[in-house]
Structure 1
Amino acid sequence: MKPYLISLAVGLLVGVIYSLLGVRSPAPPTIALIGLLGMLVGEQVVPVVKRLFADRDVVAYIRTDCAEQILGVPVKKPDDQA
């Protein structure tokens, strides 16, 4: 139940921000996609900051786990040889 309440609260917050910016909901596709990109990047801020304070390798994390989270896991192409 808690994730649903958090999702509702965040949705309300985004609705207020949209209203303050004068953007109608549902947002135009470009604005919505930029917002989704911001969500994906913002989601990675906490793990990166935690790694910085823990004195762990941040660059390797960004290149692997963080990049996969934001860009998706690369699709492996099947071999053309049959």
Structure 2
Amino acid sequence: MKSWIVSLLVGVLAGGIYALLGVHSPAPPGIALLGLLGMLLGEQLVPALRRLLARQPLTLAWFRHECVPKISGAPQPERSDTPPH
């Protein structure tokens, strides 16, 4: 399915949830930013659950390497096993 269609459908779902909770749309900036943060964090639940189902550990190193760059938009940190420049 095209990503813009998925985005629209998820937006409609989010709008419905906002209406059920009584939050005005567009939400005030603070609430909107918290909602965006929640989406970024929620997006990382899938890889974490997949890792748990594969019986792999959830380590801080894994979280920093895989999740933090996606949440913060920062580049992935260099691997610790590579020699410094």
Q: TM-score, normalised by structure 1?
A: 0.79
Tell me the distance in 1 between the aligned counterparts of 2:18 and 2:70. 26
Higher helix residue share = 1
Higher relative contact order (CA 8 A, sep 6+): 1
Structure 1 residue 72: deviation in Å?
A: 2.7
Q: Write the letter of the residue equivalent to 2:39.
A: M
User: In the alignment, which residue of structure 1 is the partner of 2:8?
Assistant: 8
Greater Rg by CA? 1
Structure 1, unmatched stretches of 5+, are 75-82
Q: Which runs of 4+ in 1 moved over 4 A?
A: none
Structure 1 residue 6: deviation in Å?
A: 1.0
The alignment of Structure 1 onto Structure 2 pairs a total of residues equal to 74
Tell me the distance in 2 between the aligned counterparts of 1:48 and 1:17. 25
User: In the alignment, which residue of structure 2 is the partner of 1:48?
Assistant: 48
37-46 vs 61-70, which moves further: 61-70
Q: Write the letter of the residue equivalent to 1:41.
A: L
Percent of paired sites with the same residue:
57
SS of the residue 1:58 aligns to: coil
User: In the alignment, which residue of structure 1 is the partner of 2:74?
Assistant: 73
Q: Write the letter of the residue equivalent to 2:69.
A: E
